[in-house]
Amino acid sequence: LSALETPMDAMIFSLHLAGMSSMLSAMNFLTTMLMNGPKSFSMYNLYLYLYCMAVTVFMLLTTLPVLAASMTMILFDRHFNTSFFNVAGSGDPMLFQHLF
């Protein structure tokens, strides 16, 4: 590894860890809300904080796996000679633009 590859790999790894911790905390909050929340659980009788957190949890759980997969694709492009985003290897550069 050259000196320029190491900081980028560390950034990709740290973004993976941050995404994983956000997903785990979102699942933890959703489980806590379902188990210890109001007994008649519907969206009309939730507190505003719980409603906002449920929307945030939904957004996190739907977007973070896609970002983790795209960061893994970048990591594979860098180290395992795949060509997800490289035109020379029949990759699609628009895929990079649409994923990020």
> pLDDT confidence of 7, banded at 50, 70, 90?
confident
Beta-strand ranges (E) seen in 1-100 are none
C-alpha R_g of the chain: 19
Tell me the pTM. 0.73
**pLDDT band, very low/low/confident/very high, at 43 (cuts 50, 70, 90):** low
User: Residue length, the chain?
Assistant: 100
70-95 per-position pLDDT tens digit? 899 888 888 888 888 877 888 887 88
In this prediction, residue 25 carries a pLDDT of: 95
Domain limits, the chain: 5-99
Q: How far apart are CA 16 and CA 2, in angstroms?
A: 22
